[in-house]
Homo-oligomer: A and B are copies of this chain.
Amino acid sequence: MTTYNLALIGFGGVNRALAELIRDEPQRFSSLGFELRVVAITDLAFGSLVQGDGIDLAAVLAMPRGSSFDGLPGGSSDPRNEEVIKNSPADIVVEATFTSPVDGEPAVSHVRWAIESGKHVVTTNKGPVALQGTSLSKLAAGNGVRFEYEGAVMSGTPVIRLAHKMLGGLELNAVQGILNGTSNYVLGRMEAGLRLDEAIAEAQNLGYAEADPTADIGGSDVRLKVAILANELLGATIHPSDVHTTGIQDITSDDVAQALANGLRWKLIGEARRESDGRIVASVQPIALEADHPLAGISGATNAVSFTTDLLGAVTVSGPGAGRVETAYALISDIIAVDDFVKGAVRA
């Protein structure tokens, strides 16, 4: 059986969830025809750890927050990201650091170092994909490695790969999505009678919304995802700042109630569309959808993307858009794609 050596860059919720699955469920991977071994971990808090014969995941997962890899064989209190990414014996670099919506750093550099040193990269990080996706994909192709990022849009729910592999031979003319669970939850609770601030507070109590919900409510989280979808699925070359963005902060309880009374439902819709002149236009904005719109029935924190195609009309996929295990699954699906590539089972 093939063994892939992994370097985990960032040891927060998502990469910890992946490490737990590798520790607890080796049969999940062996049934796919490969085995995963973590040979390096870097993290701002823990530092770095490189052990070419495989890190004891049970031991590092049990380390309390605030402790350090310093003192372990191959350990350091310093993350040493560049050195670990370039020189560790990893086949696949798993990038799961924080998302910078401005320049995508440090993730962009992490991805670049990995690709340039001949390693495949899988990531759930929107930043590098939204801001440098096209150039990084080109770099990967030139270096004969894969750059996979299914989790950047809707965590483990397949979107990018679904469009590429399941809708072959169709002309894709538009992509519309509910791409932020917090704002969708908030709008749903406003339909149930809450005010915006009450609904946000409830979402925060449930752990859906951050302490600062601006990126969710104001639409900037969705903007990054729309840029990814536009570039990846419609062949655009846009920057997130090209996505005209309006959040739900000005939607009132009255707006929601009045729409409901008319059979309409407010949703925060991220959209990229090919105009008749070939231009790709992308936006994020609240839209009051007719009840029979494919996204009108997407409730709670669920995310969804609807593809407008020439032969099938609308095809819609919905599922989780967040969650540590759900996002870790995106990494697994990316590793399956790397494995397909390594084993030659990829459509030319």
Contact between A302 and B294, CB atoms less than 8 A apart? yes
Q: Is the interface of A mostly helix, strand, loop or mixed?
A: loop
Partner-contacting stretch, out of A215-223, A238-246, A277-285, A318-326: A318-326
User: In the complex, what residues of B have CB within 8 A of residue A332's CB?
Assistant: 169
The reply on A288 being an interface residue by CB < 8 A is no
Which of A157, A311, A320, A325 has its CB near the most chain B CB atoms (within 10 A)? A311
B-facing residues in A313-346 (Cβ within 8 Å): 313-320, 325-326, 328-329, 332-333, 336, 340, 343-346
User: In the complex, what residues of B have CB within 8 A of residue A158's CB?
Assistant: 162, 166-167, 315
User: In the complex, what residues of B have CB within 8 A of residue A320's CB?
Assistant: 312-313, 315
The reply on A193 being an interface residue by CB < 8 A is no
Contact between B316 and A312, CB atoms less than 8 A apart? no
The 0/1 profile, CB within 8 Å of B marked 1, for residues 122-164 of chain A is 0000000000000000000000000000000000111001100
Given contacts A297-B298, A318-B294, contact A166 B170 (CB under 8 A): no
Question: Roughly how many angstroms separate A157 CA and B162 CA in the complex, as a whole number?
Answer: 11
| Closest chain B CB from A34 CB (angstroms) | 10
Given contacts A33-B348, A156-B311, A316-B318, contact A161 B166 (CB under 8 A): yes
The reply on A291 being an interface residue by CB < 8 A is yes
Given contacts A344-B344, A348-B345, contact A312 B157 (CB under 8 A): yes
User: In the complex, what residues of B have CB within 8 A of residue A166's CB?
Assistant: 158, 161-162, 165-166, 333
The reply on A65 being an interface residue by CB < 8 A is no
The reply on A168 being an interface residue by CB < 8 A is yes
Given contacts A300-B292, A302-B294, A343-B348, contact A169 B28 (CB under 8 A): yes
| Closest chain B CB from A52 CB (angstroms) | 26
